[in-house]
Amino acid sequence: MTKGMESEVSNDDSDSPSYDDILDLVHEHQKVIKKQSKQIKQLSALDELNATLVTNYDNLLCKFKFLSKEHEELKLKIENIWNKTNDSLEMEQSIPCTISISKVDASTS
């Protein structure tokens, strides 16, 4: 070869990692991948749990609204009953007693 055409690539492989270094790196990456796979599975499980909790929350919210409505209806019914009983008690108290009641002494009877 001519002098200007010589390759500047050296045969010195000191910049390249050794086979053992490459294996160590591969093993480290495999550990990281396994760890991340476990984390992904845990996150998937948490996602499913979250979906279940959201569904349960929605069901409980619907039941709460239904019970609140029932509570208000019962409250109105109780108020109506109270008003009716108070009205009837007031009517009974306003009617004068026309029956004369005589007291009898227990010692004379």
Residue 52 lies in a domain: yes
Q: Is residue 49 part of a domain?
A: yes
42 found inside a domain: yes
> How many residues appear in the chain?
109
pLDDT at residue 84 in the model: 87
Assigned domain for 108 exists: no
Residue 8 lies in a domain: no
The domain in which residue 47 lies consists of 19-94
For residues 19 and 5, what is the distance between their CA atoms, to the nearest angstrom?
A: 32
Domain presence at residue 7: no
Specify the pTM: 0.47
For the chain, what is the domain count? 1
* Rounded Cα distance, 98 and 104, in Å: 19
Ranges of residues in the chain whose predicted pLDDT is under 50: 1, 5-7, 9
Single-letter amino acid, residue 24: D
